[in-house]
Amino acid sequence: MDRSRTASIHGAAVPGLWGFTSRFGPRGSATESSKPAVRKYSLAKELIKGPLGKPRGKRLGRPQGRDSADTRAAILSSAKACLVEQGYGGTTLKGVAMKAGLTPAAIYPYFPSKPVLYAAVFHEVMESLLVVYRQALALELPFKEKLKMVLLAAVDLHENDADATAILATIPIELKRHPELANLLVDGQEQLNDGLRAIFRQAVERGEAPKGYDAEDLLLTFIGGSMGMALLQYGGDIGSMKKSTRLLLELVDRLD
């Protein structure tokens, strides 16, 4: 037997690690022949470096210097892009992680499942609109001006983050395909609807809304029109959403 390929532990021969012998005395103390362990460590370091001593490729994970808020934002941004490109069904946490430069395991402390991640994307988009809705309700402006604020908020969202518009536009489709998501989105949807409903109710009470229609009628009409415009923008290049919205507002102005 080739002794260079074996190790002796209390007289028993076993294959040697890395091809070096390792002998231990009766009490397990290393003898002189165990010195090649230093070489083992060197070999291990060389293997980590890769061929010819070159460093291996960049490891995934949370980038150094990035705090948890930045990591969360990067995950949400990557998730929006994946959802727009592949839909909810085709999106995976692994794909989102790779796009964000993370390992899949790095996502779980933030979003333990794909449904939770989808809901977080929706709530982030919703909050950016809800801020404007609340401002519009609080300001002492004519209903027409408040309506402009609400519509232009959607335009600004689209121009700053087109993926966000696509997410909102495809929610009804995704809910039909994946009804299990409904419970995760219901609170956010109600908050958006309540914000708009309050503006429309105020207009009805002040006599600024068309006669014969209540706040619910105005809400459904507004949501339907907004969804239609968002779907058109998402489905193909039909020009600037801002231009289309401003034209719509101008047409409304001329109805007086």
Query: Helix (H, G, I), strand (E, B), or coil: what is residue 139?
Result: coil
Tokens of 201: 């109710």
Domain boundaries, the chain: 3-53, 61-112, 114-253
Report how far residue 128's alpha carbon sits from residue 255's, in angstroms, rounded to the nearest whole number: 30
Render each residue's pLDDT in the chain as its tens digit; 256 residues. Answer: 444 444 443 444 333 333 333 444 444 444 444 444 444 434 333 333 344 444 444 454 445 545 689 999 999 999 999 999 999 999 999 999 999 999 999 999 999 999 999 999 999 988 888 888 888 888 889 988 888 888 888 888 878 888 888 888 888 889 999 999 999 888 888 888 899 999 999 999 999 988 999 999 999 988 888 777 776 766 555 556 777 777 877 776 765 5
Tokens of 205: 């009470």
The dihedral region occupied by 97, where left means phi > 0, alpha psi between -120 and 50, and beta the remainder, is alpha
Residue 13 forms beta bridges with which residues? 8
The reply to whether 61-112 and 114-253 are identical in fold is no
Q: What is the pTM of this model?
A: 0.65
Tokens of 45: 């370091």
DSSP 8-state code for residue 108? T
CATH code for the structural domain at 61-112: 1.10.10.60
Report how far residue 23's alpha carbon sits from residue 126's, in angstroms, rounded to the nearest whole number: 67
CATH code for the structural domain at 114-253: 1.10.357.10
What's the confidence (pLDDT) of residue 235? 58
